[in-house]
Amino acid sequence: MPGVRPFAAEHGRYRTSEGPFPTVDKKKAYAVRTYTPKPADVERQWHVIDATDVVLGRLASQVAILLRGKHKPIYAPHVDTGDFVIIVNADKIALSGKKLEQKKAYRHSGYPGGLRAVAYKDLLEKFPERAVEKAIKGMLPKTKLGRAQFGKVKVYAGPNHPHGAQQPVAFEIGQIAQ
């Protein structure tokens, strides 16, 4: 039939040096293969980030990149290739604009009418770790893999952390709040 594309199994799945629709000789043809990092290939580092005067969204986006492993050449979206991240001084985080007074953090109990809202000002006073964790969690995938990646972040309100044995490397966030 004129105008009908060649059968995909015969022509579309193989590439050769002869062009897009050659006569397929399966001995010369090759299939394009996707690289998948093996668990043994992944080397995890520990990073420590000082959150003093760093804008919350900028911090969360950088941490999400480190947790997912997107800074590594072996990154694959379906494999956990990310590093561990320690965040200290979460109580000194900065929010831009009027977010401190106007932005609210929501949670739901699961019951009808169970929606609860708290202003970020109150949240940062009582539980600064939760504010940082909530921002990071929102930038990770909502899947099993995302939950596993979120387990590699450790947030502390003060300057001390109990992970000195892992020898964490300092990670600088470029822009801080004015």
- Model pLDDT, residue 143: 97
DSSP secondary structure letters along 113-161: T-EEEEEHHHHHHH-HHHHHHHHHHTTS-SSHHHHHHHTTEEE-SSS--
- Model pLDDT, residue 28: 63
Structural domains of the chain sorted by starting position, each given as residue range(s) with its CATH number in brackets:
1-33 (no CATH), 43-170 (3.90.1180.10)
Question: Model's pTM, two decimal places?
Answer: 0.79
pLDDT tens by residue, 13-55: 445 555 555 566 666 666 778 889 998 999 999 999 999 999 9
Q: Residue ranges of the chain with pLDDT lower than 50?
A: 1-5, 8-9, 13-14
- Model pLDDT, residue 26: 64
